Structure 1
Amino acid sequence: MNNFIGLGFYTLITVTIITLYRKSEESEPYLLLKLIGYAILGGFTFDLGDWKLPLGFLVFLLFFRNIKINAKVKKRAAYLGLVIYLLSLIIPFIQTTIFEWPREIELQNTNFYSGSLVEEWENVHNELSDFEQGVRITHFKMMMNEKGKMTDLQMDMKENAFSEEIHYRIRLSEDDEKLIVKRRKVERVRDPYVEPPYTEAGFFLAQIDLIKKSMLDHQGVDSYTLRSDGQRSGFGITDGVNYRIDTAGKHTLEKSELPVEAIVVDVCSPKCSVYEHFLFDIINREDEVTESTFLDIARKDSPEVEQWFKNHTGDKIGYEEDGGYVLIKDGEKEKVTDEEFDRALKETPIIDYQQDGVMWKVTVENPYGDAPHVMRFTLDGKAREVLEIHFDE
C-alpha cells in the first residue's frame, strides 16, 4: 500500500512540474531544473525533535519574493513544495488513523468446543489483509459456560514488523457474536535480553484448541475461565492439581515430574479461584540441546527462524520443470543439471555454529531462494529460546 501511495505521489509531482514548465510565459535556460529546485526548496524541512519545520518555504518567502522571469510558475513550484510538506504530515496521520480504527469481525463459531481459536485468528488476519510476521501472544483470557459458549474472550498480541511492532487488542463484543480488533503501531525496541518468552500466537491457540469438553467436568460448575500470560516458563508448583494436555488427551502430571518448561493455562472459576493448571508442550528441563537438536529447537521457538528455513528449502529454491531442473536466485530461474540440482538440495543451507556453554551462535546461509540469504541468531540452550536474529542480503 505504501509503495502505491509513494508511486502515485511522485507521479503527481512530476506531472505538476511538467505542467508548470509548459505554462511558462518566457523562454529561460534550464527552467525545468529550476522549477524542480523551487519545489525542493518549498518542501525542505528542518527536524526539531518530533517537529518538522518548513524551513525551505520560509527561505523562499524571505529571499525569493522578487523573481523577475517566470515568477508565476516558479512561485507555484515553491507552493507545490509546501503542499508536499503538508501532505507528508497529513498522509501518515490518515494512514495511522485508518490502520488503528477498531474493526468488528464476525466470529466463525461462538462455541469453543465446536470451533477453533486458530481459525478465528486466521480469519482476523484475512479480514485485515495482514501478512503475519512473528505474532506472539502476551495475554489470554476466555470465559465460557458449561456447554462451551464463549461469554468473554481477551487476546493481546504483538507482531514484529521490521522497525516497529504491531500490538493487537482483541475483545469479544457485548453480544458475544463478534471480535473487536484494535491495532496500534509502536516503535520496536531491539533488546532481546528483556523480551519475555512469549509463545507464537498460532501455536499457543493450537494448544488451547486441544481442550475438549470432557476435560472440564467439575461437578456443580456452570462456567469456566481459562487464562495465561502466553509465556513458556518454568513450572514447579506441587501443591495444586496439574495436568499435561496434548493430542493424546488429559493426563495427571505427577509431582515427581516437576519442574518442567511449559505453556501454563490456569483453569478457574469466573472469579479465577484456580481449580487446575493445564500444561502444554512440556519440555523436561534435563533434556540437553545438542548438535542434532539445536536447529529444531530454534525453529520451534522462533517464527522468524522457521519462516527463513521455509523460504530457503524445498521447492522455494528449485524444482523440476519441463523435464529439466531449475534453481531460484532472488526470483530468477536458472536451468541446471540434475547433479547441480541434487547438490543444491543436499548441501544447502550451509550451517555454521559455535557453542559457548549454553549459548549457541548460529549462521545459516543459502545462495538460493529470495533475500535475505544469510541468517544469524543466538540460541540460549538453557532457556531454549532464540535471543536475537540478524539477516544479511
Structure 2
Amino acid sequence: MKWKVAIVFMLAVLLLASTWAYHHRSEAVYDRIIHQRGYVVSLVKEHISSEFFLRPEWIPERNGDEKQLNLVIDDKFGTKIILEKIGKRERDFFIQLNAIPYPNRKLGQLLLTSFITPDGSFTTSGNFDRWVVTDPAGQDILHRNFGTGNGPGNISSIFIDDPYRDKFEQGAYVRFSGYNLYGYQQLDGELETYWIPILFLGLLLVLVALYRRRSVQENWLGWKLVGYLFLGGFTLSINEVKLPLGFTVYLLLFRKLKPNSKIKNKAALLGLLVYVSQLLVPAFAGMVDWHPREMAIRNVSIEQLGMDGVWKTVTAQAPVSKQAKLLSYEMVLSSRGEVLELTFRLVERDEGRFIHTDAVYDVQEQILTLKRSSTDQWLQYNRQISAEHFFARVVELHLMNLRSAGDHPYVKLELMEDGTPVNYGIKEGHKFGVDEKGVYEIVNEQLPVTGNWISACGFRVYAEHYSGCEDRVDYLFDIVGEGRWDGVPEANQVQ
C-alpha cells in the first residue's frame, strides 16, 4: 500500500510542478504583463531606437524571394530586436524587424511598438517618422520616400520602391526609433498564490494519512473524505461576511456517520480549517511586507533614459510610489558631462510609517540598487520636494549642466537641506538662480530668496571628491518672490 501512496504523491507533485512551469513560461508571463493581469505596467520612455547595417547582398532580386536572416541586431531592456527577413515584392522590397521580450517573472522592462491603454487595449501612433535610412557617410538616401507597416505583435516593416535600390549598393544604416519602453512589476497579491500549490499538497497528504487510519474497509472512502473536506470548507457569504455553512450542515446531518466516523469528522474539520485560513491569510498577508529589503534594477542607462526616465523606471519596477519625496541627491560628473556616480534617497508615507529607499547607481553595470528601511516618524516629510517634480526639473532646467566656479575635471552636485525649500541668505560666495530661461546671478541686494538649493563644487582627483571639493557655487531653483528671473540676457543661459 505504501508504494501506491508514494506514486499518488509523486504524480501530484509532478502535476503541480508542470502546472507551475506552464503558468510561468515566458510567453504566459509576457501575456499577463501586457494585459496587466497581476502586473502593473508603466510607460518609461518613448522613441527608443535600434540601428543596424544593411548589407546589399541581403536584398533579394526576384519577386517573391525572401532572405530569412533572424539576426539579433540589438539586445536591451529585456528585449531582443531581430532582423527577421528582407523580401522582394513586385515593385519594392521590404525589411522586417521584430521585438521579442524575454520577461522576468517579478519585475523588469520590455519594448513594445504599441502603447498600452489603461483599459488593457493597445494603440499605435504610426511609425512613418520613426524610420531613417542613411548611407555610410550618414546622408539620408530615401528622403521620406518609403512605406511602413505595423504588426502583428511587435513586427515593424519598411517598404522601399525599386528605383531606390541602387542607393543600397554600398550598404546602408537603418534606424528604427518606434519602440516604447515599459517597466512592470508583479502585484503583491500574486505572491499569495504561491501558497496554493503548497496548501494543495498539504491537504492531499493529510487526506492520505486519514485514509490509512480507516478502521474498516469502505467503498469509495477516499472520495467520501474529499467530499467531507469540501463540505467542511463550504461557506455562505452575507454582506461580505463568510459563514461556515458547510461545516454546520455536516454537524447536523453527518456527524454520527458510521463506519470510519473519526476520520470523516477529521476530514470535515480539515475543511473548516481551510475556511478559517480564508479569513486569516488575507489579514496576515496585509501585515507582511512582501517587498524585498534590497533589490536591483538592471539596464538603467542614464544616457538613453535621462534622469526623468530613471525616475519612471524606479516607480515602474520598484515598490516606490509617485508621491515619494526626495531626501537627498548627489551626482558626480566629469567635465564632459559623463555621470560617474549617482545616489539619492526617497521617503514616502505608508500606513502610519515612513519608508526610506536608498538608491545607488553602478555606472559600469548600469544597475540601480535600492535598499528599503522604515521609521515611525519623519517630521520634515510635508516640506520636502516631490521626487517626481525634482527629476523632471533636472531635465527641464538642465541641472546636470551646473558647474563649480573653477576649471575642474570633476564636479559634484548635491541637493541641500534634505530637499526642503530654504530661505537663502548667504552673502559670501557665488550664487545663481535657475529657471527655464537659464542661469542668472543673484546679488546680495536680492537676499534672502526662497527656493530649492543645489550646490556644485569641483575637484581634480576623482578619489578626493568626498573631502577635497572646492570652488563651491550655490544654485537655487523654483524660487519664489523677488529673487525670480528678471530678464537676464540670453548669453548667460546654460543649455
- Taking structure 2 as the reference length, what is the TM-score of the superposition? 0.41
Secondary structure at 2:298 match in 1: strand
- Where does residue 201 of structure 1 map in the other structure? 387
Secondary structure at 1:102 match in 2: strand
Alpha-carbon distance between aligned partners in 1 of 2:276 and 2:300, rounded to the nearest angstrom: 46
- Where does residue 37 of structure 2 map in the other structure? none
Give the C-alpha shift of residue 120 in structure 1.
1.5
* C-alpha contact 1:105 1:124 (8 A) present in aligned 2: no
Larger RCO: Structure 1 or Structure 2 (Cα < 8 Å, ≥ 6 residues apart)?
2
* C-alpha contact 1:198 1:230 (8 A) present in aligned 2: yes
Distance 1:213-1:183 versus aligned 2 partners, 3 A rule? closer
Which letter does structure 1 place at the counterpart of 2:270? R
Structure with the greater alpha carbon radius of gyration: 2
- 2:339 pairs, out of 125, 130, 150, with 150
The 5-angstrom pairing of residues 177-196 of structure 1 reads 177-184=365-372, 186=374, 189=377, 194-195=380-381
* C-alpha contact 1:154 1:172 (8 A) present in aligned 2: yes
Alpha-carbon distance between aligned partners in 2 of 1:70 and 1:134, rounded to the nearest angstrom: 54
The unaligned stretches of length 5 or more in structure 2 are 1-186, 208-220, 236-242, 245-260, 459-464, 485-495
Give the C-alpha shift of residue 32 in structure 1.
3.6
* C-alpha contact 1:207 1:246 (8 A) present in aligned 2: no
Secondary structure at 1:238 match in 2: coil
Which letter does structure 2 place at the counterpart of 1:280? F
Which letter does structure 2 place at the counterpart of 1:104? I
- Where does residue 314 of structure 2 map in the other structure? 124
Alpha-carbon distance between aligned partners in 2 of 1:95 and 1:267, rounded to the nearest angstrom: 38
Decide which moves more: 268-277 or 69-78: 69-78
Secondary structure at 1:278 match in 2: strand
- Where does residue 233 of structure 1 map in the other structure? 422
Give the C-alpha shift of residue 194 in structure 1.
5.0
* C-alpha contact 1:133 1:160 (8 A) present in aligned 2: no
Alpha-carbon distance between aligned partners in 2 of 1:151 and 1:248, rounded to the nearest angstrom: 27
* C-alpha contact 1:242 1:252 (8 A) present in aligned 2: yes
- Where does residue 267 of structure 1 map in the other structure? 456
For these two proteins, the number of residue pairs brought into alignment is: 252
Which letter does structure 2 place at the counterpart of 1:264? W
Give the C-alpha shift of residue 239 in structure 1.
1.1
Which letter does structure 1 place at the counterpart of 2:299? E
Matched, 1:216 2:403: yes
- 2:477 pairs, out of 259, 266, 280, with 280
Secondary structure at 1:119 match in 2: helix
Give the C-alpha shift of residue 162 in structure 1.
4.5
* C-alpha contact 1:170 1:179 (8 A) present in aligned 2: no
Secondary structure at 2:428 match in 1: coil
Matched, 1:99 2:285: no
| C-alpha distance after superposition, 1:9-33 (max 9, x if no partner) | 799989x99x9899446999xx945
Distance 1:5-1:145 versus aligned 2 partners, 3 A rule? closer
Which letter does structure 2 place at the counterpart of 1:124? V
* C-alpha contact 2:358 2:371 (8 A) present in aligned 1: yes
Distance 1:133-1:278 versus aligned 2 partners, 3 A rule? same
Alpha-carbon distance between aligned partners in 1 of 2:449 and 2:368, rounded to the nearest angstrom: 35
| C-alpha distance after superposition, 1:197-225 (max 9, x if no partner) | 21011222233332368752744311000
Alpha-carbon distance between aligned partners in 2 of 1:115 and 1:79, rounded to the nearest angstrom: 51
Percent identical: 15
Alpha-carbon distance between aligned partners in 2 of 1:85 and 1:115, rounded to the nearest angstrom: 45
Give the C-alpha shift of residue 243 in structure 1.
0.3
The 5-angstrom pairing of residues 197-346 of structure 1 reads 197-209=383-395, 210-211=397-398, 215-216=402-403, 218-228=405-415, 229-269=418-458, 270=465, 271=467, 272-273=469-470, 275-284=472-481
Which letter does structure 2 place at the counterpart of 1:72? K
* C-alpha contact 1:168 1:181 (8 A) present in aligned 2: no
